[in-house]
Structure 1
Amino acid sequence: MTAAPSTSRTGAPAWPWLFSPAIDLIAFLGSCAISLLVLAWGARHGLLEQSEPPEWTWVAMILLVDVAHVYATGFRVYFDRQELSRRPLLYAGVPVACFVLSMAVYSESELQFWRLMAYLAVFHFVRQQYGWVVLYRARANETSAWGKRIDAAAIYLATIYPLVHWHASLPRRFSWFVPNDFYALPPWTARVALTLYVVALTAYAVKSARAWAVGRPNPGKDVVLITTAVCWYVGIVACNSDFAFTVTNVVIHGVPYMVLVWWYMLRRGAQREGEATPAPATTGGRWKAAVLLISTVWLLAYCEELVWNRAIWHEHRWLFGSDVDAEGWQLALVPLLAVPQLTHYVLDGFIWKRSSNPDVREIVER
């Protein structure tokens, strides 16, 4: 089921935004712009040459966006009694299974554990960008099979080509989680991927130009594709810098996700009150939901990183305090600390599917 495109007051087809023109542009174009501006500022001040990003980068990008957005899943599932009761076995079983499997892998090899985490994260990051394209296609009621193939090829290669380039040019000055968490690929794979990348993006550009020419554009989808291609290329291919990878990778992934959860919170509130509007009409209601979401995920992110840094990494002591000796607890503690992230990865494959989530279908395809 997909929604027919709405019309403007003049009777012309309205552009198929997911949330609203302003919110969509802030979430996708705004997050990309922030990433590139921070990158340009960092390049001007020599941060691309540093082996480790400055502390403020870690706080702003990793703690407050990357780690925090994981806990936004709680507002979609674990803080919603009605949703939690709808699929209790799934929502209880996934964290337990993640812990058990993580502990089994970690007990065999710490490096293999982090490799598994890295590749699950890569899969999640790639699929999220594809998911945005799927949602925009649904909003515009796009049903062309060829159009779907071109869209899929473009968004997948916008992410996969930089990843193949990364794997084919190891070692690099940055890693996903820990050094050596990616396997090396032969250099020719990057050349093949580049060819496919150029073909896919060219095909998408031609298709999009035609859509604009006939008055049926999908600007939100275009923005997602362009910002993904730019940030992933700049952060991974054009630059060989931990700072560049961090600022371009994290923001365009975490910020739009938190916007989606925030919008879901607003619509769920409207549903409970029997309202037909897409979101609470008052600005105060929107700000209240935003403050609740951000303050909660920031607090939970800080608590998680407090344990990681005091017990495992022994970093950022100025923010978390002195080290704790957890040598005898790492076998259980590391997999336990990974549970929120792994749960987020797994559940994301279930909780945003329109076919099995009537509330999501109603909210997104209003």
Structure 2
Amino acid sequence: MKPKIWIKSRSFDLWWFIAPMALPPLIVFFLPEQFTNQQKTEIFPWSWILIVLSIDVAHVYTTVYKTYFKPSAFKIHKLKLLAVPFLVWIVGVMVYSISSKLFWSLLAYFAVFHFIRQQYGFFRLYSKRETSYRWRKGILSITIYAVTVIPILIWHVRGQQNFNWMTAGDFWYINLPFLEPILNGVMILIGIAYLFVEWKEKQDSGYLNTPRILLTLSTCFSYYVSIVLTNNDFIFSLVNVIGHGIPYLALVYFSEKKELKEDSPTLLKLVLSKWGWVLFYAIVFAFAYFEETLWDVFIWRENTVPFGWLYGTFNQLNDDQVISLFVPLLIMPQVVHYILDGYIWRKKDYRILQE
């Protein structure tokens, strides 16, 4: 009997976990020139609302459904859940006071690590019933890291592009372009080894691990198109944000719905009901909108479409000491999301594959 290899189902996984990685980079090749212009260095206002605000920032707050909004989890991890935000803010203030560039650089690399680990996490979910050969396990793990890390390394050896991970100059570039073909060669070799392992796995098990292959190929396609083949802020945001945010939103919703019990709190029962996904998303979007309002009104003053109506009411912060307190406070939910994400998807949660 063929074991279950999809997380929920073939159709659910394809639409919510694979398609967000595979379709955006494919769509890029059919976009009008105004969207793909290499010289454009800023994302379009409405695109920012639909991509960054509605997906990237909103998905950060879905962590609350597995932690702060979940009494059973909060009871077990109460000290951690209360202490982490405070410690993140304190450390953030200290780093920002030393250097704002250092602050944004460390944050950018932490975000990169988080993005990469999410793909590895999905890869592990699809490898629940994997080979017993250690060398095959090694190649499988190396591959999912390679298809994410190598494009980012190519970005580093190229130097500053028309897009940034967070803010201008947040990466520490090494500007050694002669390394790019070497990195491409390494990725090709790893890809060949990976396909060989999948072929051997099919021979031994009698079935092809389709979701794992699709996840690996779509991740490679996504990272390579958005970082290596193009040089545009809109494309980078479109491909990476959709590929990261939507699968996370879907996984949180599905995993919590599966763990729903009779004694679960009313809020969780409500947001996980038949049409509760509307409220599920509305709550995290409200958090995201509030956070971005504070960012734009008091710090950036860049997104006039959603927040410009408040510019006349509140003054932009100019005092460096106040900013050094305020910026780490605003970034705190994002960093807390990165940290808690390392706990809420541990191996015990792989049971979502077992039914």
Q: Name the SS of the counterpart of 2:234 in structure 1.
A: helix
RMSD (Å), alpha carbons: 2.1
Identify the residue that residue 5 of structure 1 maps to in structure 2: none
Identify the residue that residue 342 of structure 2 maps to in structure 1: 349
Q: 1:333 deviation in Å? A: 0.9
Identify the residue that residue 113 of structure 1 maps to in structure 2: 103
Contact 2:131–2:201 (8 Å) recurs in 1: no
5+ unaligned residues in a row in structure 1: which ranges? 1-11, 274-279
Structure 1 residues 232 and 330: alpha-carbon distance in aligned structure 2, compared to 1, 3 A threshold:
same
Identify the residue that residue 277 of structure 1 maps to in structure 2: none
Note if 1:338 corresponds to 2:331.
yes
Identify the residue that residue 21 of structure 1 maps to in structure 2: 10
Contact 2:53–2:292 (8 Å) recurs in 1: yes
> Identity percentage over the alignment?
31
CA distance in structure 1 between the aligned counterparts of 2:29 and 2:173, rounded to whole angstroms: 29
CA distance in structure 1 between the aligned counterparts of 2:219 and 2:74, rounded to whole angstroms: 32
Note if 1:40 corresponds to 2:39.
no
Structure 1 residues 285 and 74: alpha-carbon distance in aligned structure 2, compared to 1, 3 A threshold:
closer
Higher relative contact order (CA 8 A, sep 6+): 2
Contact 1:106–1:113 (8 Å) recurs in 2: yes
CA distance in structure 2 between the aligned counterparts of 1:319 and 1:299, rounded to whole angstroms: 13
Q: 1:302 deviation in Å? A: 0.6
Q: Name the SS of the counterpart of 2:37 in structure 1.
A: helix
CA distance in structure 2 between the aligned counterparts of 1:89 and 1:104, rounded to whole angstroms: 22
Contact 1:38–1:247 (8 Å) recurs in 2: no
Q: Deviations over 1:217-258 (max 9, x none)?
A: 211111110110000000000011111111111111111111
Contact 2:22–2:221 (8 Å) recurs in 1: no
Identify the residue that residue 295 of structure 1 maps to in structure 2: 282
Note if 1:171 corresponds to 2:122.
no
CA distance in structure 2 between the aligned counterparts of 1:285 and 1:164, rounded to whole angstroms: 40
TM-score w.r.t. structure 1 length? 0.87
Identify the residue that residue 216 of structure 2 maps to in structure 1: 225
Contact 1:262–1:289 (8 Å) recurs in 2: no
Q: Name the SS of the counterpart of 2:170 in structure 1.
A: coil
Structure 1 residues 211 and 48: alpha-carbon distance in aligned structure 2, compared to 1, 3 A threshold:
farther
CA distance in structure 2 between the aligned counterparts of 1:110 and 1:312, rounded to whole angstroms: 13
Identify the residue that residue 159 of structure 1 maps to in structure 2: 148
2:87 pairs, out of 91, 97, 101, with 97
Moved more, 301-310 or 43-52: 43-52
2:254 pairs, out of 257, 263, 274, with 263
Q: 1:56 deviation in Å? A: 1.9
Amino acid across the alignment from 1:98: V
Identify the residue that residue 148 of structure 1 maps to in structure 2: 137
CA distance in structure 2 between the aligned counterparts of 1:301 and 1:142, rounded to whole angstroms: 41
Contact 2:67–2:73 (8 Å) recurs in 1: yes
Amino acid across the alignment from 2:161: R
Q: 1:216 deviation in Å? A: 2.4
Contact 1:62–1:250 (8 Å) recurs in 2: yes
Q: Name the SS of the counterpart of 2:207 in structure 1.
A: coil
Contact 2:154–2:228 (8 Å) recurs in 1: yes
2:302 pairs, out of 303, 315, 318, with 315
CA distance in structure 1 between the aligned counterparts of 2:243 and 2:61, rounded to whole angstroms: 17
Note if 1:327 corresponds to 2:318.
yes
Q: Deviations over 1:120-178 (max 9, x none)?
A: 0011111111111111111x254332222111111111011100110011121111111
Q: 1:209 deviation in Å? A: 3.0
CA distance in structure 2 between the aligned counterparts of 1:91 and 1:223, rounded to whole angstroms: 35
CA distance in structure 2 between the aligned counterparts of 1:334 and 1:132, rounded to whole angstroms: 32
CA distance in structure 1 between the aligned counterparts of 2:46 and 2:341, rounded to whole angstroms: 29
CA distance in structure 1 between the aligned counterparts of 2:29 and 2:185, rounded to whole angstroms: 28
Moved more, 239-248 or 26-35: 26-35
Moved more, 307-316 or 142-151: 142-151
Structure 1 residues 292 and 225: alpha-carbon distance in aligned structure 2, compared to 1, 3 A threshold:
same
Structure 1 residues 289 and 364: alpha-carbon distance in aligned structure 2, compared to 1, 3 A threshold:
farther
Identify the residue that residue 216 of structure 1 maps to in structure 2: 207
Structure 1 residues 126 and 46: alpha-carbon distance in aligned structure 2, compared to 1, 3 A threshold:
closer
Note if 1:253 corresponds to 2:244.
yes
Aligned residues: 341
Q: Name the SS of the counterpart of 2:275 in structure 1.
A: helix
Amino acid across the alignment from 1:95: P
Moved more, 329-338 or 43-52: 43-52
Structure 1 residues 143 and 72: alpha-carbon distance in aligned structure 2, compared to 1, 3 A threshold:
farther
1:53 pairs, out of 35, 40, 43, with 43
Contact 1:164–1:189 (8 Å) recurs in 2: no
